[in-house]
Amino acid sequence: MADAWIYGEDGLLMGDLTQALAELGFSPRRVSVNGSLLPGGDDGSAARRPALVIVGAGAGEPSPAPLVARLRDHEDLCEVPLLAALDPEHLDCAGALGEVQELLVRPFARGELEARVARARRQVNRVEEGDVVRTGSLELNVATYQVSIAGEPVSFTYMEYELLRFLVTHPGRAFSRESLLSAVWGYDYYGGARTVDVHVRRVRAKLGQEHAARIKTVRSVGYRFEL
């Protein structure tokens, strides 16, 4: 189940978001805006990377714009779909929330939340309608976890697929091995950076000469996918 982090203090708004996200299949986690941007686990370990972040601002609370900026500047959260859920009194600051993919205004229905979450995830992950990501003859179906090259299916393990999907949907950006471990395997994964190298080697082998060359090794950094 994918994690969804909810930042805010308004109890009613947070409760509505928590219930709606749970009904949509997420595992909601409330985060105090006064604490760290990355909540720790009950055992003191770091939380795994979320699939979604929502910033809430209820009546009488300060503008969420500074928090949105902090989230977007954070290395491990800058590529996570970000929504803002606001009380109507905050609409005058909506123009300062340019970094969010979608905006919800209370009251909102679950159907509206579902539609905006789906749209935000498509924007960030560069997923086209039909949940298919295409680059040349390479196609990834993010709904069925299938990969094909020139129409021919290619078999990947789950983690090989997740690594490929992450790189393909974030083209042109170099990621360190540590960042890839956090983004693909999760904060709670204790394997070393060699895990990334091994999986990149396997993914390249399965992609074949044409597409393997698109996964560039960035010396002293990590890897980058080029369109």
**CA pair distance 54, 117, nearest whole angstrom:** 10
What pLDDT sits at residue 37? Answer: 67
What pLDDT sits at residue 46? Answer: 52
Report all structural domains of the chain as residue ranges with CATH numbers, in order of start: 3-125 (3.40.50.2300), 132-225 (1.10.10.10)
What pLDDT sits at residue 119? Answer: 78
What pLDDT sits at residue 40? Answer: 61
For 11-15, which contacts have Cβ atoms below 8 Å and span 24 or more sequence positions?
Answer: 12/58, 13/56, 13/57, 13/58, 13/85, 13/87, 13/106, 14/56
User: Which segments of the chain have a pLDDT < 50?
Assistant: 42-45, 129
What pLDDT sits at residue 66? Answer: 85
What the block records as the tokens of 59 is 């009546």
What pLDDT sits at residue 47? Answer: 62
What pLDDT sits at residue 115? Answer: 83
Q: What is the enclosing helix (H) or strand (E) of 134?
A: strand 132-135
What pLDDT sits at residue 43? Answer: 42
